[in-house]
Structure formats: C-alpha cells, structure tokens
Amino acid sequence: MVPWQPLRADDPTECGGFRLTHRLGQGGFGTVFLGFRSDIDEPAAVKIFSSQYASSHLWRQRFRREIELIKTMAGLHTAALLDSGGGDEPPWLATRYVHAPSLDRLVHQYGAFEVLPAWWLATGLGEALAEIHAKGILHRDLKPQNILVEQSGIKVIDFGISRFTTGAGITVEPRFFGSDQYCANEHLLDPRAATEKSDVFALGAVLVWVMTGRTPFQDVMHHERLAGAPPNLDRVPDQLYELVESCLAVHPDHRPTALTVFRTALDHLTDFAVPLASEAGLPLPVEIRDFVEQWAAEPVPVPEHVLATTGGGGATSDSGGADVGAGGGESKADPGPERRRSAKGIFGSDWVARWHDAADRRRDSYGR
C-alpha cells in the first residue's frame, strides 16, 4: 500500500538540508523523494530536477518566477511550498507531503465512479484549477496520477511542468510535456499555446476516464487527434454529458472556465446533499473510504533524528501529514451499509444541513 520505495544506490541522501529517505516517484522533469528537515515539523515531497532542464538559463528563469507564485498558494486542494533551491545544482523544491492514494490507484483497484462521486470530483477539480489559475499558473499535466484523495477531499499535485500565464519576456521551448490522452489539441500542437482552458480540457478527460475506465481518445490515432477528432463519450452518464462535452470542445473558447465547472458541479452536488470535503466526509463507496482511511493510518517512516528534534510527533498528523487548508475535525465514524443506497442517508440526519451550510460558505467565497 505504501507509496515510498527504498533509495537506489545512486540516489542522493540529502538536498537543501532535507534528509532523503525514500523514493516517491520519477517523471520527465526529475525525481521526487520523501524528505525530512529538523526545522520543518512535517514530511516533505522533495523534487530534484533533471540536469537536462537545470542547465538551461531560460528554464531557471521560469523556475524562479514560478516559485514566487507557488509561495502564495496554500489552497484547499493544493500542497503548500516548504522551501526551494532555484540557484542550487541541481535545482529542487519541497512541498508538503500528501499522504494519500492517487485517483489512478483508486479507480484501477475499485472500478469506475458513479454519478455522485463524479460530480464530487468535478467540483474539487474545478475548484483546484480555479485556485491555480487565480495565481497565474497553468498545471499543464492534470491526470489521475496527479490527483490524490485524502479523507478531507482531493489534492492536485505536481506543478513541475507548469508555466506562467502572467508576465512577459520568458518563452517556452516548443516541446510537449504532459500526458497526451489528457491534453488539449492546442497543447499537443504547440506547448506555447496552452492556456487555462487547456487545463479544463484535461479536467474533462479525467472525468471521462474516471466514469468509464477509458480515456476519451483511447482508440484515436495521434494524427487524428491533431486533425480535431471528437472524443468518445458513448459511456459517459447523461447527467454529466453536457459538462464533459463542453470541457472537451476542440476550440478553447468553447470550453467553460474552471470556476464555471466548479459552480456547475457544486449546484448538482447540492441536489444530492453531499459535502465537498471535511465538513461531512467523502461521497465515495465504503470500500474506497476505508482504503483512504487505512492509507492515512499507515505511519510515515520518520528518521530518528527528526523524531528527537520534534519531540516525537511533529512529522505526522491525523490527516496523514498533508492538511493544507483542508480543515480539520472531520467525522471518521462508519456511516453504515445504508450509504450504498441513499446519498441523504449516508451520514445521519444533520448531514444535509451541514452540507448546505458548507456549500453556501464555498459559494460566498467566490461570489455568487
């Protein structure tokens, strides 16, 4: 179950004062490690960038500018930046470690989502992208592997290939980075053409995959994609068809904004009377809820020197070490078998009232 793997023989053991203890993953931009530092009382995901990018002066410019923007991010659905080394060799950044399984893992293990969980996911992803876009950042690689499901909601991670949407004087090399099954046409044709609407396209593609188990272009050749081939939405439930179709429009101007996706999905969730996050729990099948809870309960392997410095408990939390803006105190009581039958009966008699209060607060924060 655990996501961390032992370090390899050629892996570093220290970076920016962080002691690196395990591997968390590897991608096109570098390798991510589990790290600990005595002055930070929680685990970190330390991303060390590959030398092929770090050697580019232009890339380092973008990196330093991006860090300045990411510093301001501590939203409900994003992991906060802890520290960075843009001038180091190689450059690196450390974000709060999110101790939770990926959406990719959950769907592969438990199957496709039904309508209610899909609306919940659309709400969280719409809000996550709205948070990111409000800071002038594009994600550029939204996919199931970069979406983590905590007990308190979702987290969107890995901004390693994002670029700025504000400012001038920095251009992106004409190279494609990302997952082509979730990428918009304009992004595939020219990475410099990616916009906020390209992220919305990826959101729509993720929703198709999570509801059907297939990406919308799974059987489409690359050249057909570039020519504007339509997505396969045959198995998408009617309730979400219109939203998904609009997100996957070929022309970016025909797609909604992330904030519109959030508001649309939130309105549909109100019909179910289900919570967004920690106000009342996750509207997911019991087996998924149990798995997420078991994952969070798995102790993070904290080095002894960190335990000694923090007094023994500073590196973990009730939410698994990643509670950025998520709010605390969620009920972890087993809702019982009736949750499979009725959304309104899942969490008890006061659940509906709590959800409506939470939805009103969330709407007010963005303006009606």
**Active-site annotation, residues:** 141
Strand 18-27 relative to strand 14-15: parallel, antiparallel, unpaired? antiparallel
* Residue 203 Rama label (left phi>0; alpha psi -120 to 50; beta): alpha
- C-alpha span between 92 and 154 (Å, rounded): 24
- CA nearest to 203, candidates 261, 275, 161: 261
Fill in the amino acid letter for 340: R
Fill in the amino acid letter for 281: G
- C-alpha span between 40 and 36 (Å, rounded): 7
CA–CA distances in Å: residue 21 to residues 45, 101, 209: 11, 19, 34
Query: CA-CA-CA-CA torsion for 14, 16, 20, 25, nearest 10 degrees?
Result: -120
Core vs surface per residue 53-90: b (16+ CB within 10 A) or e: bbeeeebbebbebbbebbeebebbbbbbbbbbbbeeee
- C-alpha span between 149 and 143 (Å, rounded): 13
Strand 147-150 relative to strand 5-6: parallel, antiparallel, unpaired? unpaired
The sign one gets for the Cα dihedral 128, 130, 134, 137 is positive
